[in-house]
Amino acid sequence: MEEAGQKLKRARERLNLRYRDVEEASNQIAARHSNDEFSIALSRLADIENKGTVPTIYRLYALCAIYRLDFNEVLDWYGVNMAHLPTDGAAVEIQRTHLIGFGADGYGDMQMPLALDPGIDLRRTTFLSRMIQRWGKLPVSLLNGLDVKNYRYAYIGSEDWTMYPLLQPGSLILIDDAHRKVINSGWSNEFERPIYFFEHRKGFACSWCTLNESQLVLQPHPSSMCYPEVFTYPSEIDVVGQVIGVAMRLDQGKRRRSRT
């Protein structure tokens, strides 16, 4: 914490700002937002720089605005790495299916395979772990070409067996909210049948469905042993989008058998 305070001190000194200058600037920000929490008194600024006092989010915002610093980077100084937010969230098991609100802001980096065996044939099923020659970190900003921000993400709850075994509990799913129209026919097997993500009065759901005039029936996979649910559409339920991708474990069935 003291090191973070010293970094803020050096940022202030590089701009040749006195404590009084910072106090006056923070008062201007507080006035703009009609919130005194943004104000930084002289004694408080001294404590932040020299005693390791952790500033509130309002004061940290004001300091970043005054010193022209990136807010995420300064949070990192205090041991809060925003790039870890999705990973930490995934480590917390939640029973109910829910949307994921973490944005793709391009901040941070991630482990990626930087070099693959040149003999790899992507047309064939491959044990990829053996083909990776070198791992490394890449800035998330380099992944912008994947256009991930134009889709939405959700998490199948750890106790949601509705679409088992097609979608395992704990699966991370990719949702295309541009495809919200319910299709009642046109597929030849269960893998081609569209799966939708819904929001209703009790929360969220993910399943097949059938729309009959104003009645929307959520249809679980037959192997799940779950029951269909019926809603009045669109007053009681909203179609968020169609599931177009999934990342999941394949051993959840063992956990389910051990519970029964």
Q: Which amino acid, 24?
A: E
Say yes or no to pLDDT of 162 above 80: yes
d(CA 136, CA 154): 27
> So what CATH class is 2-77?
mainly alpha
Q: How many other CB atoms sit within 10 Å of the CB of residue 194? A: 16
Name the more confident of 254 and 122: 254
d(CA 193, CA 174): 16
Question: 22 pLDDT band (50/70/90 cuts)?
Answer: very high
Contact between 48 and 74 under an 8 Å Cβ cutoff? The reply is no
Residue 31's SS3 state is helix
Say yes or no to pLDDT of 115 above 70: no
Residues 6 or more apart whose CB falls under 8 angstroms from that of 179 comprise 194, 241, 242, 244
Average pLDDT, the chain: 84
Chain segment 212-227, per-residue pLDDT in tens: 999 999 999 999 999 9
d(CA 12, CA 19): 9
- Provide CATH 2.10.109.10 ranges for the chain: 149-259
Say yes or no to pLDDT of 149 above 70: no
Say yes or no to pLDDT of 148 above 70: no
The topology under which CATH files domain 149-259 is: Umud Fragment, subunit A (2.10.109)
In the chain, % of residues over pLDDT 90? 57
Question: 248 pLDDT band (50/70/90 cuts)?
Answer: confident
Which pLDDT score, from 0 to 100, does residue 100 have? 79
Say yes or no to pLDDT of 244 above 80: yes
Considering the entire predicted model, what is its pTM? 0.64
Which pLDDT score, from 0 to 100, does residue 136 have? 60
Chain-centroid distance, C-alpha 231: 29
